[in-house]
Protein backbone atom coordinates (compact mmCIF):
# COMPACT_ATOMS: atom_id res chain seq x y z
CA UNK A 1 0.00 0.00 0.00
CA UNK A 2 0.90 3.67 -0.17
CA UNK A 3 1.40 4.06 3.54
CA UNK A 4 1.10 2.35 6.90
CA UNK A 5 -2.49 1.35 7.45
CA UNK A 6 -4.03 0.78 10.86
CA UNK A 7 -7.43 -0.59 11.77
CA UNK A 8 -9.75 0.14 13.31
CA UNK A 9 -9.27 3.90 13.41
CA UNK A 10 -11.38 4.10 16.56
CA UNK A 11 -12.28 1.45 19.10
CA UNK A 12 -14.46 1.79 22.17
CA UNK A 13 -14.42 -1.19 24.47
CA UNK A 14 -15.65 -2.09 27.91
CA UNK A 15 -13.22 -2.51 30.74
CA UNK A 16 -12.12 -6.12 31.00
CA UNK A 17 -12.60 -6.95 27.32
CA UNK A 18 -9.78 -7.96 24.98
CA UNK A 19 -8.96 -5.87 21.91
CA UNK A 20 -6.92 -6.50 18.79
CA UNK A 21 -5.35 -3.70 16.81
CA UNK A 22 -4.02 -4.26 13.32
CA UNK A 23 -1.14 -2.71 11.40
CA UNK A 24 -0.38 -3.15 7.70
CA UNK A 25 3.15 -1.85 7.10
CA UNK A 26 4.47 -0.45 3.86
CA UNK A 27 5.28 -3.32 1.52
CA UNK A 28 8.92 -4.35 1.78
CA UNK A 29 9.52 -2.71 5.13
CA UNK A 30 11.33 -5.12 7.41
CA UNK A 31 11.10 -3.08 10.61
CA UNK A 32 7.82 -2.48 12.43
CA UNK A 33 7.20 -0.52 15.63
CA UNK A 34 4.27 -0.03 17.98
CA UNK A 35 4.00 3.11 20.10
CA UNK A 36 1.38 4.38 22.52
CA UNK A 37 0.45 8.05 22.73
CA UNK A 38 -1.58 9.20 25.70
CA UNK A 39 -3.48 12.45 25.39
CA UNK A 40 -1.12 15.42 25.28
CA UNK A 41 1.96 13.27 25.75
CA UNK A 42 4.85 11.96 23.72
CA UNK A 43 5.13 8.58 22.12
CA UNK A 44 5.88 5.63 24.37
CA UNK A 45 7.72 2.71 22.75
CA UNK A 46 5.97 -0.65 23.07
CA UNK A 47 7.56 -3.23 20.76
CA UNK A 48 9.81 -3.56 17.70
CA UNK A 49 10.01 -6.25 15.04
CA UNK A 50 12.94 -6.56 12.63
CA UNK A 51 12.66 -9.25 10.00
CA UNK A 52 12.86 -12.71 11.51
CA UNK A 53 14.82 -11.58 14.57
CA UNK A 54 13.38 -11.89 18.04
CA UNK A 55 11.24 -8.81 18.74
CA UNK A 56 12.25 -6.19 21.28
CA UNK A 57 9.35 -6.39 23.74
CA UNK A 58 11.00 -4.28 26.41
CA UNK A 59 8.45 -1.47 26.15
CA UNK A 60 5.33 -3.54 26.77
CA UNK A 61 3.83 -2.17 30.01
CA UNK A 62 2.39 -5.43 31.33
CA UNK A 63 1.74 -9.04 30.40
CA UNK A 64 -1.72 -8.00 29.23
CA UNK A 65 -0.03 -6.60 26.15
CA UNK A 66 1.28 -8.78 23.35
CA UNK A 67 2.04 -8.40 19.67
CA UNK A 68 2.67 -10.67 16.76
CA UNK A 69 4.02 -10.26 13.28
CA UNK A 70 4.19 -12.90 10.62
CA UNK A 71 7.27 -12.46 8.49
CA UNK A 72 7.39 -8.92 7.10
CA UNK A 73 3.65 -8.43 6.88
CA UNK A 74 0.75 -7.57 9.13
CA UNK A 75 1.16 -7.09 12.85
CA UNK A 76 -1.47 -7.30 15.55
CA UNK A 77 -1.27 -5.75 18.99
CA UNK A 78 -3.49 -7.47 21.55
CA UNK A 79 -4.51 -5.99 24.87
CA UNK A 80 -6.19 -8.42 27.22
CA UNK A 81 -8.51 -7.45 30.05
CA UNK A 82 -8.41 -3.78 29.07
CA UNK A 83 -8.20 -1.13 31.77
CA UNK A 84 -9.15 2.54 31.60
CA UNK A 85 -5.48 3.53 31.68
CA UNK A 86 -5.05 1.69 28.37
CA UNK A 87 -7.05 4.45 26.68
CA UNK A 88 -4.67 6.08 24.19
CA UNK A 89 -3.81 6.30 20.52
CA UNK A 90 -1.81 3.28 19.41
CA UNK A 91 0.55 4.11 16.58
CA UNK A 92 2.30 1.71 14.26
CA UNK A 93 5.32 2.62 12.15
CA UNK A 94 7.43 0.76 9.64
CA UNK A 95 10.80 1.35 8.01
CA UNK A 96 12.77 -0.23 5.22
CA UNK A 97 15.46 -1.19 7.71
CA UNK A 98 16.20 -0.22 11.29
CA UNK A 99 18.47 2.66 10.28
CA UNK A 100 16.08 4.34 7.85
CA UNK A 101 13.13 6.67 8.27
CA UNK A 102 10.12 5.33 10.13
CA UNK A 103 6.71 6.06 8.60
CA UNK A 104 3.75 6.21 10.95
CA UNK A 105 0.17 5.19 10.42
CA UNK A 106 -2.70 7.38 11.58
CA UNK A 107 -3.18 5.34 14.71
CA UNK A 108 -6.02 3.56 16.47
CA UNK A 109 -7.76 5.59 19.14
CA UNK A 110 -8.69 3.18 21.92
CA UNK A 111 -11.20 4.22 24.55
CA UNK A 112 -11.87 1.91 27.46
CA UNK A 113 -15.14 2.69 29.27
Partner 1 sequence: QQQVKQSPQSLIVQKGGISIINCAYENTAFDYFPWYQQFPGKGPALLIAIRPDVSEKKEGRFTISFNKSAKQFSLHIMDSQPGDSATYFCAARNPSGSRLTFGEGTQLTVNP
Q: What is the DSSP string of 54-76?
A: PPB-TT--STTEEEEE-TTS-EE
In whole angstroms, how close is the CB of 97 to partner 1 at the nearest point? 8
43-74 burial by CB neighbour count: b if 16+ within 10 A, else e? eeebbbbbeeeebeeeebeeeebebebeebee
Asked if 1 interacts with partner 1 (CB under 8 A), we say no
Which residue of 76, 80, 87, 106 would you call a contact of partner 1, by CB under 8 A? 106
Asked if 23 interacts with partner 1 (CB under 8 A), we say no
Say how many residues touch partner 1, by CB under 8 A. 25
List of residues contacting partner 1 (CB under 8 A): 4, 31, 33, 35, 40-45, 48, 50, 56, 59, 91, 93, 98-99, 101-107
Amino acid sequence: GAGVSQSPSNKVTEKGKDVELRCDPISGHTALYWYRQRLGQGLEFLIYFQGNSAPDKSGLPSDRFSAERTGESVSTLTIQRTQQEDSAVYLCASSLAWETEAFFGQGTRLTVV
